Structure 1
Amino acid sequence: MGKWTTKGVAQIAKGTLIGNSDVEVEGCVLDSRQAKGGEMFFALPGENVDGHDYIEAVWKNGAILVIAEEARFKELAKRPSVPEGKALLLVKSVFTTLQELARSWRMELGTKVIGVTGSNGKTTTKDMIAAVLSQHYRVYRNKENQNNELGLPLTILNAPLGTEVLILEMGMRGLGEIKALCEIARPDIGVITNIGSTHLELLQTQERIAQAKWELVEALPSDGIAILNAEDLFSVKKGNNDSHAIRYYGLEGAFALPHIKGAQLRSWGALGTTFDVTFQDQISTANLPLPGTHNVLDALAAIAVGTVLGVSLIEGCKGLGKLELSRMRLEIRQGVGETVLINDVYNANPISMKASLQVLKERAGENKSLAILGEMYELGPAAESGHREVGRALAELKISELITVGKLAGEIAQGARMAGYAEDQIKMTTTREEGIKKALELLTLLGPGTWVLIKGSRGMKMEEITAQLERSQ
């Protein structure tokens, strides 16, 4: 954060301050164990864990200021003894105060803010934007996917003084949620990676998903710029009816002419991709340490943001080569019996599943390939058709073997069968333990050089399968 004092925080929050009023606070935490020294701690009440139970612990861990709800301390005797040099701020709502302070700090920073959302690839795109802009600017971004009503204000409050660009991933589960995040973040640039079928369970139609995602563009100032995927029909449809300046990126330009265009994709190293990028009369080559067309599209979005903020094409491409990703996304691991594991277990939906299967096929080449696929959540009425769609894609790609994990993932197998995939290539399991057993048996038969993709929704904990396939070496 920066040079706010406990008194200054109290004035913004309009709360009652007890203890030291002149000490500086820097950063904030929601988990008492993460305090390192000097932070604010928001004692958020919850169903399972109540932050008010950890006030004394967080002071011991080094936090300076605890923000708690005054209703918990109506009687003076109930207030904890505030240690010397520390402070307690009592407010009506800790949650509301967190968001109000984040809104205030965002304005005090005076930084450019980039909002990133989409049905797929928003975390990767956020990381890529940071890599591109770090060539020129002091950048701060969400850790992993801290992209909700708690994670986004936490990110803002931890952005240090001197931050020149703040990159904020924005997630949503329903209408109005991105709008609420934008009221805190006040973005100058909005990036929508795509508008897919994730969240159909809650929003019912893709049109409503598009409406929810578009809240980011609607929140931009009149001189704000939207960065949109020229290969995404819903994004282009919405863009055609919007008054903001738009910069499109893409490969073929299926629905709009890309301003930033990628071409000539080819393999680079074990899992990377080299491609050419053109913008206006410039051309450059990027070496991206990730495979797949979908990742190239995300990289083009990042380069597009760079062009808006004055990062040259050459510098932007150079930045992509230094990309650092969040964990569990297309990681290469060494597996049992000299096999190669692609650990892509961060999350899953039909679009990302098919993209990862394409990567598996490309990288396996003439070698045997095995897809271990778990259930995909949040597809609502499209759950059965979405899983079968993945199975059809797997069959068309001629992946050597398939193991499904979970009852619903059995629909992936059914989709593969319907596309002509042989029954003896399919192993259906209901638990991770059973999936691990089948995988170990199958890899013994397939032999060295086999490529394995492990993927499923986050709640499936597919990383436990990856760990067992590694551990058995």
Structure 2
Amino acid sequence: MSKWTAATVAQISKGTLYGDSEIEVCGCILDSRQAQGGEMFFALPGERVDGHEFMDTAWKNGAALVIGEKGYFQQRTQKPYAPEGKALLLVDSGLEALQELARVWRLELGAKVVGVTGSNGKTTTKDMITAVLSQNFSVYRNKENHNNELGLPLTILNAPQGTEILVLEMGMRGLGEIKALCKIGKPDIGVITNIGTTHLELLLTQDRIAQAKWELIEALPAEGVAILNAEDETSVQKSSRDSHRALFYGADEGIIHPDIQGSRLTPKGALGTEFVVSFLEQKADAYLPLPGKHNVLDALAALAVGTVFNIPLADGCVGLRELEMSKMRLELRPGIYETTLINDVYNANPVSMQASLRILKERASGNKTLAILGEMYELGTSAVSGHREVGQTLARLGISALITVGNLAKDIAHGARLAGYPENQIFMTATREAAVRITRDLLAADGAGAWVLIKGSRGMKMEEITVQLERSEKRMD
């Protein structure tokens, strides 16, 4: 963001200002440790900690302005104050102030906004869109998982002056949440990767999930463009009843013929994929440093966004080749006993887990394969069937060994059994530590050259398993 003064921030958020009203601010943080100089620190109350307790730390670390809530001081004898050369702004709601400031800065910035959501692949797609658009534009995107009511406005406020396109991933857990994010971000283009079963626990039905995701398309202006998956039946059906211009992408013929199509998908190297992409009269050879058709679909979505901004396919493909992914997604790491680890632990649902299993089998090229699979959350009434589907896919692929982690993941093992998977290749564990012990024993006995997939929902912290199985010069295995 450009430099606002504390007085400007106070005027926008309708708060009460203490201290230096002319001090300039640039950017914002929610963690006092991240202050580098000149930021706004939002002292938000949380479930475990209260940001107000870190106001002094934020100022000391370099923050120029602390934004706190009036209620915090009303409950205490401490009077509001700000150190010399600093400022304190008190508002009714820190969250509402954060969101209102983001709305204003989004308009001042004047950038185009690409909103991205979907049941699978939205973070990967966001990264790919950024890579494609960065060939011709100055682009800013969410970092990590900053895709909610806090992270999205934080992203907007940290977008620097001169940003031409904002790429905003939008997460949701219920109806109305994407709509609320769109009121802040005001997207010009909406990308829906697919409409699956994630969040059934909260939304209960597939129709409600579709309704929640489609809030992104409904929020677009009349001239806005919807980028949709031609292989996703729900997206195709909803688009037929929507007035916005739609561009469809796909690697197969799909429900309808895609406008942007990928073909001749070919594995290349350890985790790469080559394919041919076509759009109208354009055709280009593409290389993606990621495996699997699902990642190619995300790449096609990114290239589709590029066409809206008149980026030639060939230029967009250069961006894909240079792709920088968010952490913990299909990372290839050297493992103990000369093994190869696929660290895919950012999150998991039945679709993404089955896709990762196919990648494991494909890239192992006949070597032994082990799958360490944790619980998948937010599946609601589909929790049992979703886990069992994964197990059945694992059995059909002929994965060499299955190690499950957690109580819900037992249904992965049960699904494998139902599909005829041998009992002596199944190992169920309750903890990450137990999974590591069993995996090490299996690899020590006959693991040279094996490929190991580690995957589970974010809350399972499966990356801790990866760390224990990585090859290290300090570790003698």
Match of residue 214 from structure 2: 214
Residues 262, 276 of structure 2: 8 Å contact kept:
yes
- Alpha-carbon distance between aligned partners in 1 of 2:205 and 2:443, rounded to the nearest angstrom: 41
| 1:398 Cα deviation from its structure 2 partner | 1.1
Superposed, 1:280-295 pairs within 5 Å as 280-295=280-295
More off after superposition, 175-184 vs 421-430: 421-430
C-alpha change, 1:260 and 1:75, in structure 2 (3 Å) is closer
SS at match of 1:222: coil
The residue type equivalent to 1:394 in the other structure is: L
More off after superposition, 42-51 vs 79-88: 79-88
The residue type equivalent to 2:400 in the other structure is: S
| 1:75 Cα deviation from its structure 2 partner | 9.4
**Residue 155 in 1 paired to residue 169 in 2?**
no
- Alpha-carbon distance between aligned partners in 2 of 1:75 and 1:385, rounded to the nearest angstrom: 49
- Matched pairs, number: 473
**Residue 135 in 1 paired to residue 151 in 2?**
no
Superposed, 1:83-162 pairs within 5 Å as 83-162=83-162
The residue type equivalent to 2:243 in the other structure is: S
**Residue 360 in 1 paired to residue 360 in 2?**
yes
- Alpha-carbon distance between aligned partners in 1 of 2:369 and 2:106, rounded to the nearest angstrom: 48
| 1:73 Cα deviation from its structure 2 partner | 3.1
- Alpha-carbon distance between aligned partners in 2 of 1:315 and 1:282, rounded to the nearest angstrom: 11
| 1:68 Cα deviation from its structure 2 partner | 1.1
SS at match of 2:207: helix
CA deviations on 1:306-342 (whole Å, 9 max, x unpaired) are 0001111000000001111111100001111101000
Unaligned 5+ segments in structure 1 are: none
More off after superposition, 206-215 vs 427-436: 427-436
CA deviations on 1:103-130 (whole Å, 9 max, x unpaired) are 0100000100000000010000000000
SS at match of 1:241: coil
Superposed, 1:321-336 pairs within 5 Å as 321-336=321-336
SS at match of 2:470: helix
More off after superposition, 13-22 vs 189-198: 13-22
Match of residue 36 from structure 1: 36
Superposed, 1:246-395 pairs within 5 Å as 246-395=246-395
Match of residue 397 from structure 1: 397
SS at match of 2:140: strand
Superposed, 1:2-17 pairs within 5 Å as 2-17=2-17
Match of residue 470 from structure 1: 470
More off after superposition, 331-340 vs 440-449: 440-449
| 1:72 Cα deviation from its structure 2 partner | 2.7
| 1:470 Cα deviation from its structure 2 partner | 1.1
| 1:446 Cα deviation from its structure 2 partner | 2.8
| 1:267 Cα deviation from its structure 2 partner | 1.5
| 1:77 Cα deviation from its structure 2 partner | 6.6
SS at match of 1:140: strand
| 1:420 Cα deviation from its structure 2 partner | 1.2
Residues 19, 81 of structure 2: 8 Å contact kept:
no
Superposed, 1:12-31 pairs within 5 Å as 12-31=12-31
- Alpha-carbon distance between aligned partners in 2 of 1:309 and 1:390, rounded to the nearest angstrom: 39
- Alpha-carbon distance between aligned partners in 2 of 1:343 and 1:168, rounded to the nearest angstrom: 25
Unaligned 5+ segments in structure 2 are: none
- Alpha-carbon distance between aligned partners in 2 of 1:351 and 1:47, rounded to the nearest angstrom: 32
The residue type equivalent to 1:46 in the other structure is: G
C-alpha change, 1:221 and 1:420, in structure 2 (3 Å) is same
C-alpha change, 1:76 and 1:427, in structure 2 (3 Å) is closer
Give the TM-score normalised by the residue count of structure 2: 0.97
SS at match of 2:389: helix
- Alpha-carbon distance between aligned partners in 1 of 2:35 and 2:241, rounded to the nearest angstrom: 47
The residue type equivalent to 2:446 in the other structure is: L
Give the TM-score normalised by the residue count of structure 1: 0.98
- Alpha-carbon distance between aligned partners in 2 of 1:392 and 1:438, rounded to the nearest angstrom: 22
| 1:80 Cα deviation from its structure 2 partner | 4.5
- Alpha-carbon distance between aligned partners in 2 of 1:403 and 1:101, rounded to the nearest angstrom: 48
| 1:384 Cα deviation from its structure 2 partner | 0.5
CA deviations on 1:128-166 (whole Å, 9 max, x unpaired) are 000000000000000011000000000000001100000
The residue type equivalent to 2:412 in the other structure is: I
The residue type equivalent to 1:150 in the other structure is: L
More off after superposition, 322-331 vs 77-86: 77-86
C-alpha change, 1:383 and 1:81, in structure 2 (3 Å) is same
- Alpha-carbon distance between aligned partners in 2 of 1:271 and 1:23, rounded to the nearest angstrom: 50
The residue type equivalent to 1:439 in the other structure is: T
| 1:84 Cα deviation from its structure 2 partner | 1.9
More off after superposition, 343-352 vs 41-50: 41-50
Match of residue 65 from structure 1: 65
Residues 18, 81 of structure 2: 8 Å contact kept:
no
More off after superposition, 451-460 vs 438-447: 438-447
Residues 248, 259 of structure 2: 8 Å contact kept:
yes
- Alpha-carbon distance between aligned partners in 2 of 1:114 and 1:439, rounded to the nearest angstrom: 42
SS at match of 1:214: helix
- Alpha-carbon distance between aligned partners in 2 of 1:447 and 1:167, rounded to the nearest angstrom: 42
CA RMSD after TM alignment: 1.2
**Percent identity of the aligned residues?**
68
